[in-house]
Amino acid sequence: MRQRLWGAGLIVVGGLLLLSPLLLHAYDMVTQNALLVEAPHPALVKSRHVDLKPAALEPEPPLGTVIGTIDIPAIHVNAAVVQGTTDSLLLGAPGHFMGSVLPGESGLSVIAAHNATYFHFLNRLTPKDPIIVTTQQGQFIFKETSQAIWPANANLPDSSAPTLALEACYPLNALYLTSQRDIVFAQLVKERPARAFVSPKTLTTGSYSAHMDSVIAQQYNLHLADNNLPQGTLTYHNHAAPHVFRQFVTSEKPLELLSQAVHMILAYQDTSQHGQEHLLQSLFLPGQSPGLNPFWKMTLVQYIDRVNYQITLNAQGVATAVTVNAPNVLVDTHHVAITWRITIIQHELYLDKVTVQNL
């Protein structure tokens, strides 16, 4: 029998950490469009006024399976949902917490997503906004009954009725594992049972990549655990219309972009500390030079404060730059503040400018 009481802390163990997926999976991105190809696309019985009946309990899907889609028009969420909340899975999609019932079944079903992507606007949901989940069993429409900030280790209450909980780390612009969760509870208000299945359309998408000599990735360790790069917050310098901006934010693109930006910064650090001038130059835009380099052949580099990011979007909603700010870095025996300006050209990232200030 499936468990009926969930610890919010358990929901996000290994799942809502942004630190690991930003780096450990930067070259193995899971894109939403690829997942949508696998998502169930049932033909649905036309809506009719009937008593709501919970979906029959199904065996738990294997880890990584695409169990369906979630559509929340009010906050521009339209995404495939995968089974599980591991770092690599949540990097590309909202994840269904293993052990909770599937959406539409009797009991509590929990879906978690990163606060920097799909659930970034979770706190804007209202009781009138539909939350539409489609699985092999049909389409289930939920509406919010409550929303609150919960401690990370709190137990979520179970329900005998089909109930959905949406969860993200709080505050919603944090790129680190926080001590609080923004949780929306919703009740089933309408269902459309499935009667047949149709083949989904094939979708494709692009991805970001950091421009660097291939030797860098082979020669230097770019993993967070060995470089001590603590993640801070994500903000935007936005020139796009509100609906275009929301479409960018509620996708896999922000984390995909930040993953490559982090690779770029760590490559800058490692090539500088090892005195590899030609490899360091390969990170920069043609014609740009590294300039003043606080890391050059230094032994100790330690990030004292969290590193913060700002993504610039143009009027078309295309990311054109990422600014990375490390407000306090210990370099051997002195402290500096460093800002990296990264320019994006056709989805490829180049270092543009590095600004250093002694503290």
Angle at 45 between CA 40 and CA 49, to 5 degrees: 130
Same structural domain for residues 185 and 74? yes
When pLDDT is averaged across residues 130-138 and rounded to a whole number, the result is 91
> Is 140 inside any structural domain?
yes
Over range 270-276, report the average pLDDT: 92
Which has more pLDDT, 20 or 180? 180
Mean pLDDT on 335-350 = 95
71 and 162 in a single domain? The answer is yes
Residue 202 belongs to some domain of the structure: no
pLDDT band at residue 202 using 50, 70 and 90 as cut-offs: very low
Q: What is the average per-residue pLDDT within 108-131?
A: 93
The percent of residues above 90 in pLDDT, for the chain, comes to 51
Segment 203-217, tens digit of pLDDT: 334 478 888 888 886
Query: Does some domain include residue 153?
Result: yes
Confirm whether 238 is domain-assigned: yes
The tally of domains found in the chain comes to 2
Between residues 63 and 40, the one the model is more confident about: 63
Q: Are residues 15 and 48 in the same domain?
A: yes
pLDDT, position 196? 45
Q: What is the pLDDT of residue 113?
A: 92
**Same domain membership, residue 290 and residue 180:** no
pLDDT of residue 244 exceeding 90: yes
Question: pLDDT class for 177, splitting at 50, 70, 90?
Answer: confident
**Could you tell me the CATH number of the domain that includes residue 276?**
3.10.450
Same domain flag for 270 and 339: yes
Report the CATH number at residue 178.
Answer: 2.40.260.10
The owner of tokens 């970001």 is: 208
Q: Both 275 and 150 in a single domain?
A: no
Let me know whether 134 and 279 are in one domain: no
**Predicted confidence band at 59 (pLDDT cuts at 50, 70, 90)?**
confident
Same domain, 29 and 91: yes
Residues 152 and 234 in one domain: no
Whole-number pLDDT of residue 159: 87
- Domain ends where: 139, 162, 197? 197
Proportion of the chain above pLDDT 70, given as a percent: 77
Looking at residue 168, what is its pLDDT?
92
pLDDT of residue 220: 58
User: Are the CB atoms for 350 and 285 separated by under 8 Å?
Assistant: yes
Nearest to 104 by CA among 70, 65, 151, 62: 70
Confidence of residue 14 (pLDDT cuts 50, 70, 90): very low
Peptide bond into 171 cis (omega under 30): yes
The verdict on residue 204 lying in a domain is no
Q: Which of the pair, 223 or 147, is modelled with greater confidence?
A: 147
Residue 1 lies in a domain: no
Give 82-109 pLDDT, tens digit per residue.
999 887 788 888 999 998 999 999 999 9
Given this model, what pLDDT does residue 53 score? 61
Q: Which among 159, 177, 197 is the end of a domain?
A: 197
Q: Tell me: pLDDT of 172 over 70.
A: yes
How many Cβ atoms are within 10 Å of 48's Cβ, its own excluded? Answer: 6
Q: Give the pLDDT confidence of 106-116 residue by residue, as tens digits.
A: 999 999 998 88
Same domain membership, residue 35 and residue 148: yes
213 and 350, same domain (yes or no): yes
Within-domain flag for 203: no
pLDDT at 154 over 60: yes
Is there a single domain that holds both residue 331 and residue 233?
yes
Examine residue 136 and state whether it is found in any structural domain, yes or no: yes
Q: Which domain holds residue 90?
A: 6-197
Q: Which of 148, 174, 197 is the last residue of a domain?
A: 197
